[in-house]
Amino acid sequence: MNEPLITPELVQKHNLTQEEYTRIIGLLGREPSHTELGVFSVMWSEHCSYKNTRPLLKTLPTKSPKILVGAGEENAGIIDVGDGLAIAFKIESHNHPSAVEPFQGAATGVGGIIRDIFTMGARPVAALNSLRFGEITNSDVRRLFSGVVSGIAHYGNCFGIPMIAGEVYFDKSYEGNPLVNAFCLGVLRHEQIVRGAARGVGNPVFYVGPATGRDGLAGAAFASQDLTEESSQQQRGAVQVGDPFMEKLVCEACLELLATGAVAGIQDMGAAGLTCSTCETAARAGTGIEIELDKVPQRGAGMTSYEIMLSESQERMLIIVKKGREAEVKRIFDKWDLPWAEIGFVTDTGRLVVRHGGRVVVDVPASKLTDESPVYHRESLEPGYLTGVREFSLSGIRDLTEPGSVLPTLLAWPTVASKNWVYRQYDHMVRNGTVVCPGSDAAVIRIKADSLPPLPGETLNDVGLAQVPDKYVAMTVDCNGVYCYLDPYEGAKAAVTEAVRNLACSGAVPLGVTDNLNFGNPHNPELFFQLKESVRGLADACRAFDTPVTGGNCSLYNQSPAGPIDPTPTVAVVGLIEAAEHITTQWFKQEGDMVLLLGEAVDLADPLQGLGGSAYLQVIQNLKTGSPPRCGLDQAKKLHETLLELIRAGLVKSAHDCSEGGLLVAIAESCISRNDGRGTPALLGAEIDLSKVEGGARLDALLFGETQSRVVISVSHEAVDLVLKRAYSKGVAAAAIGRVGGGHLRLTSKQGCWAWDLGALHDGWWNSIARAMR
């Protein structure tokens, strides 16, 4: 148990500055032990302390009458959905681990976010993911992509949670540093909310779950530094190894235990493992914790106190039990055949005290670790490349005259193409609550009685017998990183707006947001500018739509030797649908229905007419530049509210938002995206006439520009006049642009007529990623 001498080099290896180390000495009044140095390094990492982002996060709107547990309070936010029911949800990243070990990195990202949910007392019932990779033509990217998707599928399928939605983007900026953001949502009653606080002096502290190993060692610190070839090789041990079957047992055992009322506090051992779970629970309650490491179950022989405290071995929980009720913990965990150990107790000292081998190896004030980490106000400087972005014009780009080959090319572009290669590996029907499967603008689940955790005295056989009103919850995850690269403020606004628009297209009113801020090194002023402006955009958009941020994750240092990733402030938005008949999907439903466009066909006040940063410029013109389409929040809100009113009135048969690829891509997807659940397409053509809405727009902008706040809907022939009248009365532009029917997509404009075979369009769109992965 001889500990290494603490030198400036050792401090630097722990990703602490000399100033931070001096501060640690000041807080302790002495030199730290080696284990204490490790404890401070993980708790003061960006991943755990948000030391570079905390001032920015305070600018986000986090309040709402519906919020029961708010941002930063606990492991996940909780929102009231009525009738005494609530939902808990959160998104988190596992980027660096997935770059090093894609299968386990992604799998344990899923496991970690699931634990965040059931730690709150909620039953996990749905999961999403947001993924970013380099160009799919790169063989190493395909290896990472395949490994990540396999890891997500393995963990989710084995645990038994439906993976019901997500997004996948491909861009060169993510080569060497993929993004893997995992979201989970759970359900509970108001009275079942539990807290992660070590309350009750003298209460015993239990460790439950599998033994601690050397995997995942200091993973939080690894996630808080730039990713290089050297660090990747050195930090393979920082990647955890997951066991989804064990997690399922832990989840059920914890939910059963919580129903007994014997728990005073509970916390999962996620980032920073035993360190974080002990000091955070103590700090939240204003108490202290004393633990004995010799009592901690260990997989490895001769593990040091440093290794035990910093290991991030998976599927472990820390439970503070009400004194005198220890037998209930032992009984339930023995029933589920799960390891447990009583390792310590709650004190009134306010300190985290750790003993190992008969001596004290850690003795620090808990609140100093969690609440008094350094906070930095980084320098912000507008990147020089933005000057060229703003100066870009279409003067050197010839307008399109023949769109025949452009539409199938964009539909087959992996970022736009169907992601069925991904989601067909996921079980999205397990638990039998999925109403809208992957492949539409938003996924929808039904909250049923058996979605809820057990009540006191209930067994698994009893759960589901209680009568609860059906609730329909919609969810989506969105962000266009290219928009954020070209204009971080407008791009972040557009991310929230698109997510809310996706919910509106499904018939849902948005309730709240959880965000995952994926950015480069904050010490670079130009990269910090991207972060600062993106947060400003998120804050403005969330206020506009009354969607408070309930929590999330900051993932910085996302860069490889090739450079930083595009700024990617991913947002997951959750909404509520009032009635089953309001649930709406994106594909056309019936021959003879009319196709309408809500919103302006082209923003003619935009010099680039919606082509800045568009898929068209990237794929057809090989350009990644131009100011992205403007995102007018007031107009977007009018559109969303109008669409929801039309859906509730029973006037809308399908609704699909216009995003990547523009108007013609959205119309084509409405024709080809429906299938029978086994991948067999149910194609339904359309005849479209844009001559009345194109004004003076360029043809490329009309068809493929990405002007914001537009939705393609289909309605019955009899409803057209009423829909148009209602839209006009709300100040929303609207026009009838075609009719559903036939085996082709036919297009007429002032500049010509074209037609595409639906089978060919579907083949390229549906099979593009699968062909690239062969």
CB 596: neighbour CB atoms within 10 A? 23
What does the longest C-alpha to C-alpha distance in the chain come to?
A: 85
Report how far residue 9's alpha carbon sits from residue 559's, in angstroms, rounded to the nearest whole number.
23
Sheet holding 123-133, edge to edge: 67-69, 77-82, 85-93, 179-189, 123-133, 163-170
User: Is 94 noted as a catalytic residue in this protein?
Assistant: yes
Contact at 8 Å (CB) between 192 and 84?
no
CB 61: neighbour CB atoms within 10 A? 19
Q: Which of 636, 606, 603, 654 lies closest to 709 in space, CA to CA? A: 636
CB 324: neighbour CB atoms within 10 A? 11
Q: What is the DSSP letter of 396?
A: G
- Residue length of the chain: 774
User: Which one of 94, 428, 744, 762 is the catalytic residue?
Assistant: 94
CB 728: neighbour CB atoms within 10 A? 12
Structure tokens that stand for 681 in this block: 């397409």
Backbone angles phi, psi at 22, to 5 degrees: -60, -40
Structure tokens that stand for 371 in this block: 């609440």
Structure tokens that stand for 62 in this block: 């986090």
Strand partners, 163: 127
CB 60: neighbour CB atoms within 10 A? 18
Structure tokens that stand for 284 in this block: 């939240």
Q: What does R_g of the chain's alpha carbons equal in angstroms? A: 26
Which residues lie below 8 Å from residue 177, measured CB to CB, with a gap of 6+?
95, 96, 99, 227, 558, 559, 560, 565
Angle at which helix 102-118 crosses helix 244-258, to 10 degrees, equals: 10
Q: Show the 3-state SS of 113-148.
A: HHHHHHCCCCEEEEEEEEEEECCCCCHHHHHHHHHH
Amino acid in the structure at residue 418: S
Which residue do the tokens 């029973």 mark?
A: 650
Q: State the catalytic residues.
A: 47, 94
